[in-house]
Chains A and B, each alone.
Chain A
Amino acid sequence: MIELENVAYSYGGGALLSDVSVSLGAGSFHFLTGPSGAGKTTLLKLCYGALTPASGRVTAFGEDMSSLERDGIALLRRRIGVVHQDCQFLDHLNVSENILLPLAAAGRQTSDAAEDLQELMAWVGLGHREGALPPELSGGERQRAALARAVIMSPDVVLADEPTGNVDWEMSQRLLHLLVELNRMGKTVLIATHDLSLIRAAKAQVQARVLRIANGQLQLAGADL
């Protein structure tokens, strides 16, 4: 689905990522860990075309990202649901409008998705908050809404950046369950997280590979996780 080949990236200073290669195959489930500032978010941004690698190649659904125009990237993003670490909502739209935004942007009738929306909102525990504006939400509520938005289009790939950073254990299990369910439906999932207990919980449910970034390199983490 998404492949990075010998990717290097830097924000101007020293190389943040050097020679990173990874393949997120169809139906795979990955975790991405590493110390804060190691470049997890950066790696995700490379995956959905928000950043362009300094060298190397990023391929999504068989297309070389660097060969795509802005609109081509936009079309790819409809197939990649992203939970952004900083959520990225439109603050003047309420929660349900924000969750439906990918549908609206794709020119689809948002009214057709009313049922999916209801179900999703209930699952992430936001059923009673749909009319609220994003600034009125707690950190955890924002993350849950962000996850709902990432999956509303039923994308082929879900990239989640710290989706459980601000929620309690029980809610994090619910969110994980949602992602596991999507993975069982054949979707590709990548979760960036510090939370080792989340990784352990997931390993009990799915075949998950754990990647670790440190010093600009990506390694497969040991079985100790």
Chain B
Amino acid sequence: MSLPEDILMLVRGDTRSDQVVPPSEFTARLTVFAAAAMGFLAVFALALTLAADRLADSWGDGLARTSTVRISAPAAQMPALQATALSILETTAGVEAVRALNAEDQQALLEPWFGAGLDLTTLPLPGLIEITEATSGFDAQGLQLRLEAEVPGAVLDDHNQWRAPLVASAQRLRSVGWFSALLLGLTAAAMVTLAANASLAANAQVIRVLRLVGATDRYIAQAFIRRFTLRVLLGAFGGAAVAMVFVRVLPPAADMAGFLSGIGFEGAEWLLPAIIPLLMAAVAFLATRYAAHRALREIA
């Protein structure tokens, strides 16, 4: 009763071997339907998980390693204050690089709002210093205190302050996605076990007759395994296919103000939902196999 042999039998076994068990249209339809619903939900759980993953990545990465020091001071004092700030930053542990933004940089930053041809000299602009963090990160609070003491008017904009909770919630969303997928898998196993148990109990007499004519446990189990595995495969395939169509016609990421990175699949990711029916069929296979061998031990 080895597992590989059972799988082999499923794949190339006699296609009519499950006919020794009488068909039951009603439970068959219910099983297919439940599998379809779970396949559908699983695709969405997967899409959600992948979206959360991308979100966590992009917030974690893109913004992760830069902060800004903003110095508000009269233009005359600015160069001295900037120089002090720069020297403080350069001696701060965890700071990889610092760069004071010059007039052109600032011009480029403001252009989208004020248009080209803006004369910066007429505006009381703060001085800006861009910090690139080392992977170890730096002590933002300590740095803020030092800056306040030595550079009046300097403020550290630590992106971490607002980024961290967003990354955390994206990560939590991702965990919820994985957890949902796990739940769906367990539910599928439970559903198949219940259906298979009902079928085994209803067919106790058939099992007795099969034993009388010399059928081994494996032969009998196979009839049930085959039936439930194929039903779940069929249902899950249908449900997943419909869900993939739904995901495909969802509005693309750009239309959603870029907040969610878009619930959907990109490129090779489309292969993942296609695997869901196979995974569910594998779950059905194992669940029926377990239920059948247990029931066969009990039916004397």
Which residues 189-227 in B have Cβ within 8 Å of A in the complex?
A: 206, 208-219
Q: When chains A and B are docked, how far (Å) is the Cα of A77 from the Cα of B209? A: 12
Q: When chains A and B are docked, how far (Å) is the Cα of A89 from the Cα of B20? A: 11
Which residues 73-87 in A have Cβ within 8 Å of B in the complex?
A: 74-78, 82, 84
A102 at the interface (CB under 8 A from B): yes
B212–A104 contact, CB under 8 A?
no
B17–A104 contact, CB under 8 A?
yes
Q: When chains A and B are docked, how far (Å) is the Cα of A34 from the Cα of B14? A: 44
B216–A71 contact, CB under 8 A?
yes
Q: For A104, what are the chain B residues with a Cβ–Cβ distance below 8 Å?
A: 14, 17, 20
B212–A77 contact, CB under 8 A?
yes
Contacts A88-B209, A89-B209; A74 near B216 (Cβ below 8 A): yes
B19–A149 contact, CB under 8 A?
no
Partner of B219, one of A82, A91, A107: A107
A105–B213 contact, CB under 8 A?
yes
B22 at the interface (CB under 8 A from A): yes
A105–B22 contact, CB under 8 A?
no
Q: For B218, what are the chain A residues with a Cβ–Cβ distance below 8 Å?
A: 71
Q: When chains A and B are docked, how far (Å) is the Cα of A222 from the Cα of B176? A: 83
Partner of B214, one of A77, A89, A91, A92: A77
A122 at the interface (CB under 8 A from B): no
What's the nearest-Cβ distance from chain A to residue B221, in Å? 11
What's the nearest-Cβ distance from chain B to residue A120, in Å? 15
Chain A 129-151 near chain B by CB (<8 Å), digits 1 or 0 = 00000000000000000000100
Which residues 83-129 in B have Cβ within 8 Å of A in the complex?
A: none
A206 at the interface (CB under 8 A from B): no
Q: When chains A and B are docked, how far (Å) is the Cα of A53 from the Cα of B20? A: 30
B19–A93 contact, CB under 8 A?
yes
Q: For A70, what are the chain B residues with a Cβ–Cβ distance below 8 Å?
A: 211, 216-217, 296
Nearest B residue (CB) for A101:
B213
A149–B217 contact, CB under 8 A?
no
Looking at chain B, what size class is its interface with the partner chain? Answer: 20 to 34
Q: How many residues of A contact B (CB 8 A)?
A: 26
Query: How many Cβ-Cβ contacts under 8 Å join chain A to chain B?
Result: 60
Nearest B residue (CB) for A155:
B214
What's the nearest-Cβ distance from chain A to residue B87, in Å? 84
What's the nearest-Cβ distance from chain A to residue B291, in Å? 17
B210–A105 contact, CB under 8 A?
yes
B217–A101 contact, CB under 8 A?
no
**Most chain B Cβ neighbours within 10 Å, of A84, A92, A107:** A107
What's the nearest-Cβ distance from chain A to residue B213, in Å? 4
Contacts A88-B209, A90-B206; A106 near B214 (Cβ below 8 A): yes
Contacts A74-B211, A89-B209, A90-B209; A101 near B216 (Cβ below 8 A): no
Q: When chains A and B are docked, how far (Å) is the Cα of A78 from the Cα of B214? A: 5
Q: For B22, what are the chain A residues with a Cβ–Cβ distance below 8 Å?
A: 90-92
Nearest B residue (CB) for A100:
B213
A90–B212 contact, CB under 8 A?
no
A113 at the interface (CB under 8 A from B): no
Partner of A71, one of B210, B213, B217: B217
Q: When chains A and B are docked, how far (Å) is the Cα of A139 from the Cα of B220? A: 28
What's the nearest-Cβ distance from chain B to residue A181, in Å? 22
A149–B213 contact, CB under 8 A?
yes
B212–A88 contact, CB under 8 A?
yes
A50–B212 contact, CB under 8 A?
yes
Q: When chains A and B are docked, how far (Å) is the Cα of A88 from the Cα of B213? A: 9
Q: For A102, what are the chain B residues with a Cβ–Cβ distance below 8 Å?
A: 213-214
Q: When chains A and B are docked, how far (Å) is the Cα of A77 from the Cα of B206? A: 17
Partner of B20, one of A76, A78, A101: A101
What's the nearest-Cβ distance from chain A to residue B148, in Å? 82
Q: When chains A and B are docked, how far (Å) is the Cα of A50 from the Cα of B214? A: 11
Partner of B213, one of A76, A77, A92: A77
A74–B215 contact, CB under 8 A?
yes
Nearest B residue (CB) for A79:
B214
Give the interface of B toward A (CB within 8 A): 14, 17, 19-20, 22-23, 206, 208-219, 296
Please name the 4 residue pairs, one residue from A and one from B, whose CB atoms are nearest each other, closest first.
Answer: A105-B215, A78-B214, A77-B214, A92-B22
Please list 18 pairs of residues, one from A and one from B, whose beta carbons are closer than 8 Å in the complex, sorted by A's number. A70-B216, A71-B217, A74-B217, A77-B212, A88-B208, A88-B209, A90-B22, A90-B206, A93-B19, A102-B213, A104-B17, A104-B20, A105-B20, A105-B215, A105-B216, A107-B14, A107-B219, A149-B213
Apart from A91-B22, A105-B215, list 20 A-B contacts with CB within 8 A: A70-B211, A71-B216, A71-B217, A75-B214, A76-B214, A77-B212, A78-B214, A90-B22, A90-B206, A93-B19, A101-B20, A102-B213, A102-B214, A105-B20, A105-B210, A105-B216, A106-B214, A107-B14, A149-B213, A153-B214
